[in-house]
């Protein structure tokens, strides 16, 4: 190998071959793989939401503690994030600082299905959702990226015409004779 010229050495000092800006330290790929996020757009949206909440939190922290507007906005922000299920409690703004993309991914319908034991693996949950076996309230949901709030979590169930539901009822000896005819 030939000896490098001065300008080549200078360029090599400025370049980091181990981490690229586009990869963001592989964190993006790890999160997308772990939560079975198919579209990169979903990750970008969650990341943008996290940044927005963190900016809002920083603005609120700079305001006076006794300011009624700050108190009202803090309560509204914490209430909204808590109802979404992204933060565990409504106690402090410190929870909003630690908000991450993973916390939004945990509220996706596929992750909630695994948490509620409707499926064993995320991939299996995604398959159930895409095939139309799951409904949230009265609506059948076919998008695994559907964000489930704390209130909607109680209304997740199988679609009435789902063969998986029929098999489960048959296995538990709860299948009605009328249902067997249909």
pLDDT tens profile 29-63: 888 889 988 888 899 999 999 999 999 999 999 99
pLDDT at 63: 92
d(C-alpha 177, C-alpha 180), whole Å:
5
The pTM (predicted TM-score) of the whole model is 0.78
pLDDT at 171: 85
pLDDT at 180: 52
Q: 65: helix, coil or strand?
A: coil
Integer CA distances (angstroms), 119 to 111, 112, 137, in order: 9, 9, 19
Give per-10-residue mean pLDDT for the chain (182 aa): 86 70 70 87 92 94 93 94 93 88 94 94 94 94 94 93 85 72 55
Q: What is the DSSP letter of 108?
A: B
Q: How is residue 128 written in tokens?
A: 């159930």
Count of other CB atoms within 10 angstroms of residue 44 = 12
């Amino acid at each position: 190998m030939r000896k490098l010229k001065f300008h080549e050495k200078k360029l090599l000092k400025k370049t980091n071959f181990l981490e690229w800006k586009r990869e963001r330290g592989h964190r993006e790929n790890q999160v997308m793989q772990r939560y079975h996020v198919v579209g990169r757009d979903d990750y970008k949206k969650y990341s943008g939401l996290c940044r927005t909440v963190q900016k809002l939190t920083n603005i609120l922290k700079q305001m006076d503690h006794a300011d009624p507007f700050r108190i009202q906005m803090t309560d509204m922000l914490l209430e909204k994030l808590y109802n979404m299920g992204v933060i565990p409690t409504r106690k402090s703004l410190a929870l909003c600082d630690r908000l991450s993309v993973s916390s939004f991914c945990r509220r996706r319908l596929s992750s909630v299905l695994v948490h509620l034991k409707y499926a064993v693996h995320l991939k299996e949950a995604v398959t159930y959702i895409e095939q139309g076996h799951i409904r949230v309230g009265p609506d059948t949901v076919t998008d695994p990226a559907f964000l489930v709030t704390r209130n909607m979590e109680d209304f997740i169930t199988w679609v009435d015409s789902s063969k998986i539901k029929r098999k489960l009822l048959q296995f538990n000896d709860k299948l009605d004779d009328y249902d067997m005819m249909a």
